[in-house]
Amino acid sequence: MTLTRSDIKASAEELEQFQQGLQHLSVSALWANQGPVSRSPGGSIEPRPRAVPHVWHWLDLRPQALRAAELVGTQQAERRVLQLKNPAFSDRSVTTNTLFAGIQIVMPGEVARAHRHTMAALRFIIESEGGYTNVDGEPVPMLPGDLVLTPNWAWHDHANDTGAPMIWLDGLDAPLVRMLEAAFQEDFPQERQALSAARGLSQIRYGAGALRPAGEPPAVRHSPLMHYAWADTQDALDRLAEVDEGSPYDGLIMEYTNPVDGGSVMPTIACFAQRLRPGERTAAHRHTSSTIYHVVHGNGYSIVGGHSLNWQDKDTFCVPNWTSHQHVNLSETEPAYLFSFSDIPVLRALDLLREEPVPGEWG
């Protein structure tokens, strides 16, 4: 018996009628629909991200955040956040397919009430003279450049006990959690949690370099360290720059780790800090993870999916999944420092992480 692909040519009407007849059975013909993928002439399929590259400039965002603080209180807005919405989506509040970024402002004397949710969050501080997020009773300091974690199901409230506005970048895995329909949230019984732990407690325990308290670490999947101070981060990058070249795609890049296992800070979000040398131009690549970048300090641009995104201090931009990107530090004298967060731990855990070089704008 010869085995070949069969060749059956039904009329368009017959096919149409057949497919109509399937509808009331909640059935449909797989061969008749194409999903959100693109098929090459060779028949292969690869992701075609709906999200587009975009940059949000601090010079536009800051006045709007201050205006929001005149228009609504933290009574009216449980979180006074400007969502950085990817322009390609009108139906979802997302920055990339899986990640959300927002700008949150807390004014002097204000608190944002305590709650918890299954969405994991991080805060990267842009402007502040102090203040804190109370994470499960521990006041975690928030100074410019600091990274603060509020992991899945941790109680958190924000407080500004200073005389100046606090403004930070929020990063959440909310789009992913919503897609999984695994979102839960509840209010703390009181507006604020008691300050039951010492300021900086998790730093004292788990931020002591290569030392940690002996014995069983806490039985959680996220980092037990809630605070990563910018001074330490920049120092680590500057010291590494004296001895290492870094990656052709990212320049010098370091990951914020869970000090217990060396892994990402949270199961769904990894955080990075990178340093681009004066004049550095990185090579182009793409990967199945998506990334949100925040410019801590610097002046340059990134070419993302063929779009040139210009950036300066405190700007934020997104690199959708499977989208080519490369970075340029335009300063000939100063390094540029970028903070970023990504869904790479999710892709890796599910064995879906792929990465490839892409022909870029230069060698």
Enumerate the H helices of 181-269 as residue ranges. 201-206, 230-241
Footprint on residues 35-94 left by ligand GTQ (CB under 6 A):
79, 81
Q: Which is nearer to ligand GTQ, 74 or 323 (CB)?
A: 74
Report the distance separating Cα 53 and Cα 51, nearest Å.
7
**SS3 of 126, please?**
strand
Question: What's the min distance (Å) between Cβ of 241 and ligand GTQ?
Answer: 32
Q: What CA–CA distance (Å, rounded) separates 278 from 154?
A: 40
- Closest CA relative to residue 296, chosen from 242, 238, 224: 238
Q: State the nearest-atom distance from the C-beta of 197 to ligand GTQ, in Å.
A: 19
The residue within the footprint of ligand GTQ, chosen from 104, 291, 302, 316 (CB under 6 A), is 104
- In the complex, minimum distance from the CB of residue 61 to ligand GTQ, in angstroms, rounded to a whole number: 13
Among 49, 84, 97, 102, binds ligand GTQ (CB under 6 A): 102
Neighbours of 197 (CB within 10 A): 16
Residue closest to ligand GTQ when measured from CB atoms: 170
Of the two residues 121 and 309, which places its CB atom closer to ligand GTQ in the complex?
Answer: 121
Site for ligand GTQ in 126-185 (CB under 6 A): 156, 170, 172
Name the residue nearer to ligand GTQ (CB basis): 118 or 310: 118
CA proximity to 265, closest of 130, 197, 273: 273
Smallest gap from Cβ 340 to ligand GTQ, in A, equals 17
Check binding of 315 to ligand GTQ (CB under 6 A): no
The secondary structure of 138-195 as a DSSP string is EEEE--TT-EEEE-TT--EEEE--SSS-EEEEEEE-HHHHHHTT---EEE-SSSS---
In angstroms, give the least distance from the CB of 206 to ligand GTQ: 22
Kind and range of the H or E element at 303? strand 300-304
Give whichever of 61 and 121 is closer to ligand GTQ, judged by the CB atom.
Answer: 121
Binding region for ligand GTQ (CB under 6 A): 79, 81, 102, 104, 117, 121, 156, 170, 172
